[in-house]
Amino acid sequence: MAISTLGLYSQAIILFAALALFTSFMMLAQARMMPLIFTFAWQGLLLAVVSVLVAIVSKHPHLYVSAALTVTLKVIVIPWLLYRLSVRLNMHYDAEVIKHPTLLLLGGVGLVIFSYYVAQSIVHLSGLATRHTIAVSIAIELLGMLLMSVRKSAVAQVIGFMSMESGIFFAAVVSTYGMPLIVELGVAFDVLVASILFGVFFFHLRDSFGSLNVVRFNRLSEAIEPPPLPDAAGESTLRDPS
């Protein structure tokens, strides 16, 4: 079905879904922490707008509650928490070096193409007005996973995790017109608790290791005395550390 034959609201859903996908690419290419947080907030706002449009098309009023929760958590609360953490940890001016950014964006494009290939069967079988955006929701999840994989900062990896959760929520909205309200409330509460726990976790990491760069954690080593080696007479001797 051509996009031009769709209704106004369905075309608006596709437009805002494409903008949400664009914010995932912006997060991949963003090296500074503060713009990364603000881009995540913009993605949450766009997903909330899509939820409202889907509620209008499908006449499911509980999606308005989902949109309100999305705005509250992913546009206001979680970005504010991440902002305060970045300021208190003196990370708001930090710029992370991204190796091979062009290859990274090309890899993101490949994931989008793969998402459309995977979603072909769903699009052909679905009769929902939002079937064109199912591939976008899969792509947002995969790009969030890619963000977690390539970034070295723990805060950036948490933002990638939250972006993956946004993709899962978006997939539920566009594929089934939303989950039951009690499930959405439970997921929203879990996301809020997880964001608070991540904040506590960041402070513990910074106090213990002096950095939130996960690459440095892999270099940690613990001095352990080597086990004794038996000598020719069968008695145990300690290995010379030199």
Q: Is 82 strand, coil or helix? A: helix
Burial class (CB in 10 A: 0-12, 13-18, 19+), 166: buried
What letter represents residue 77's amino acid? V
pTM of the full structure: 0.75
State how far Cα 9 lies from the chain centre: 27
What is the Cα–Cα distance from 173 to 178, expressed in whole angstroms?
Answer: 4
What is the Cα–Cα distance from 121 to 61, expressed in whole angstroms?
Answer: 29
Along the 242 residues of the chain, how does pLDDT read in single tens digits?
Answer: 556 566 787 788 888 989 999 999 999 888 888 888 899 999 999 999 988 888 888 788 888 888 888 888 889 888 888 888 888 777 766 667 777 888 889 999 999 999 888 887 776 656 555 667 888 888 999 998 998 888 877 778 888 888 888 888 888 887 776 666 656 666 666 666 666 666 666 655 555 555 555 555 555 544 444 555 555 555 544 444 44
